Amino acid sequence: MAPTWRFLALTALAGVPSLLRPHWTTLAVMAGFLLIAALADWLAAPHPAGLGLQRTPGPRIRLGEATHAVLTLRNEGRRTLRLSVRDAWAPSAGAAPRGPGGTRFGARLRPGESHEHRVELTPTRRGLLRADRVTVRSRSLLGLVARQRSIEVPAAITVLPPFHSRRHLQSKLRRMRELEGRTAVMLKGAGTEFDSLREYVRGDDVRSIDWRATARARELMVRTYRPERDRRVIIVLDSSRLAARRVGEGTAFDAAIESGLLLAGLAAGSGDRVEVLAADARVRAHVGPLGRQAPLDSLMRRIAPIFPELLEPDWEEITSTVLRLTSQRSLVVFVTALDAPTIAEDLLPALPLLARRHTVALASVADPALEEMREGRYSTTQAYRAAAAERELLEAQSLGHALSALGVHSVHESPENLPPALADLYIALKTSGRM
C-alpha cells in the first residue's frame, strides 16, 4: 500500500469543509471519507500479480566501461496496468535513479502489451554485479493509493578487472618474439633451446660455432637458440588478509590481479602453459592451463568475483597444492602484499621445499604511502611516522635479501609498476634459461 501525491492533494482539499464549518464532526467525517477513498482506490488498483517480468543482462565488461540491462514487463492479466517501476541495482552498479536509462520509470500496459526498459550501468567495482529486486507500484485510474510489490528477477553481469596493464602486453610480447627470433633482428638466438643452424655472420659469438656442421657444409655455421617453450608458469594470487590492504587506488589484490593477468597473457603468448591459483586459507580458484588463443577471457571471468577475505594465508597448503599440480620444473610466482613478519614467519619456511623443485619468484606490492610518510619530518608525530616507515622499508629490503639467499627471485614495486616489473623478470628468466 503506497499513497501517492494525489492522495496528499486530496487530503489538503478535504480540509476545506472544516474551514467552512469548523466543528470536530466535520473533521472526523472528512477524515473518514478520506480513508474510505484511499481504501476503495487501493481495492480498485489492479494487482501486480498479472505482470510478467524478465531481465536481460547486457554484455560482460571491464571495469570502467558502460553496460546495460533490459527489463521487460509484459501485462499477462486482463486489466490495464498503470505502473511506476524501480529496477533496483546495487549502488556500485552506477545506475542513475531517474531520467532515460535510470532505474525508475513509469509504464502503461494494456492487456498483452510489453514494455522494455533499458538501464544504463557504469559499474564502479569489479566482480559479479547482481540485480536487486524489481519494485512495482500499480495504481488505479484515480491513482490515490497504489499496490506495491517487490519481485525477485535474477540477473547478473560480470564486471571484469580493468586490466590497465594490458597496454604493456603488446610491447612485452614483441620483445619476447624478438628474443625468440621470429622477427628479423640481429639478436636472434638468445636462450638455451636449440633452434636451427645458419651461416656465420660477423658479430656472432664464436662460441656458438657448430664445428661439425661447419665441416659438413664447408662454411662457417653457428647454432641458434631460442628460449624454452612449453614450460609451466604457476601464478599464485594471495587473497588473504594481506591482500585486503588498501594500496594507492585499490587494494593489494587489485594490483596482484593486474600483475597476474599481464604475466599470464605474456607467458601464454610465449607458448608456456599457465595456471593461476587464487588462494588464502584454501584454494579459491584454479584456472588453467590457459591456451594460446584468448587466454585471458576465462581467467578474468573466474578471477573477477574473488575479493580478499580476512583469513590468514595457509602457505603450507598453498605450496603442497602447487607441488601436486606438476612434477615438471616450472616457474612459480607468488603475488602478495609484503608484510615482513608474516612472510618471514610463514612463507619463508615453506619456500625451500618448493625452490628445490621449481623456480620461485615473489612479487609483492609496495605501499607508496610509506614513501610519503618517510618524507615528512616536521613534527614529533611525523618524525615517529617516518621512523616506523623507514623500519618497514628496511624490513622489506632485508626480506628481499633473505629471499635472494634462498634462490627466490623477488620484485617489490608500487601497484602501477609491479605488472611490467614482473613481466620483465619473466623475460629475464626466460632468456637466460633459468626457468
Partner 1 sequence: MSAGLDIAVRGTVRTPSGGLRARLGGAARSASLWVVAGIVVLVTAIVTVLMQGREATRPLHYDSTQADGGRAVIEVLSAQGRDVATTESLAEARTAAAGGGTLLVFAGEGVLAEEVPGQLMAEAEAADTDVVLIAPGATVGAWTDAIETDLLGGAGTQTRRAPECEASAPRTAGAVSARAGESDLYASGSVAGDVVFCYPGTGGGAFDEDVFDHGLYAVEDRGGMSLTVLGTAEWMQNETLANEGHMSLVAGSVAGDGPLTYYYPEAGDQPGADEAAGGVWSLRLFPDWALAGLLWLLPLALAAMLVYGRRMGPLAVEPLPVVVPAAETVLGRSALLQRSRARATAIRDLRTAALVRLGRRLALGPDAPAEEVAARAAAAAGLDPAWTQSVLLTAPVPDDAALVRLSADITSIEREVDPL
Residues 8 to 67 in contact with partner 1, rule: CB under 8 A? 8, 11-12, 14-15, 18-20, 22-23, 25-36, 39-40, 42-43, 48-49, 51-54, 56
CB of 23 to partner 1, least distance (A): 8
Residue 167 touching partner 1 (CB under 8 A): no
Q: Which of residues 292-311 bind partner 1 (CB under 8 A)?
A: 307-310
Residue 151 touching partner 1 (CB under 8 A): yes
Report which of 87, 83, 123, 124 is spatially closest to residue 102, judged by C-alpha positions: 87
x/- string (CB under 8 A) for partner 1, residues 372-411?
Answer: -xxx-xxxxxxxxxxxxxxxxxx--x--------------
x/- string (CB under 8 A) for partner 1, residues 306-335?
Answer: -xxxx-------------------------
Q: Which region, judged by CB under 8 A, interacts with partner 1, from 146-154, 207-215, 270-278, 327-335?
A: 146-154
Out of 82, 164, 241, 284, the only residue in the binding site for partner 1 (CB under 8 A) is 241
CB of 410 to partner 1, least distance (A): 17
Residue 159 touching partner 1 (CB under 8 A): no
Q: Which region, judged by CB under 8 A, interacts with partner 1, from 208-216, 240-248, 255-263, 292-300?
A: 240-248
DSSP string, 260-292: HHHHHHHHHHTT-EEEEEEESSSEEEEEEEE-S
The number of residues that bind partner 1 (CB under 8 A) is: 103
Residue 72 touching partner 1 (CB under 8 A): yes
Take residue 140 and report the three cell numbers written for it.
488505479
The single-letter code of the amino acid at 383 is: A
Strands (DSSP E) along 8-144, which ranges? 51-57, 61-62, 67-75, 81-89, 104-109, 114-121, 127-139
Q: 98: phi > 0 → left, psi -120 to 50 → alpha, else beta; which?
A: beta
CB of 133 to partner 1, least distance (A): 6
Q: What is the Cα–Cα distance from 195 to 185, expressed in whole angstroms? A: 15
Residue 193 touching partner 1 (CB under 8 A): no
Taking CA atoms, 112 is separated from 79, 107, 150, in Å, by 9, 13, 21
- State the Cα angle at 191 between 190 and 195, rounded to 5°: 90
Residue 217 touching partner 1 (CB under 8 A): no
Q: Which of residues 336-375 bind partner 1 (CB under 8 A)?
A: 339, 367, 369-370, 373-375
Q: 411: phi > 0 → left, psi -120 to 50 → alpha, else beta; which?
A: beta
Which residues are CB-neighbours of 139 under 8 A, at least 6 positions away?
A: 4, 41, 45, 82, 83, 84, 145, 146, 147
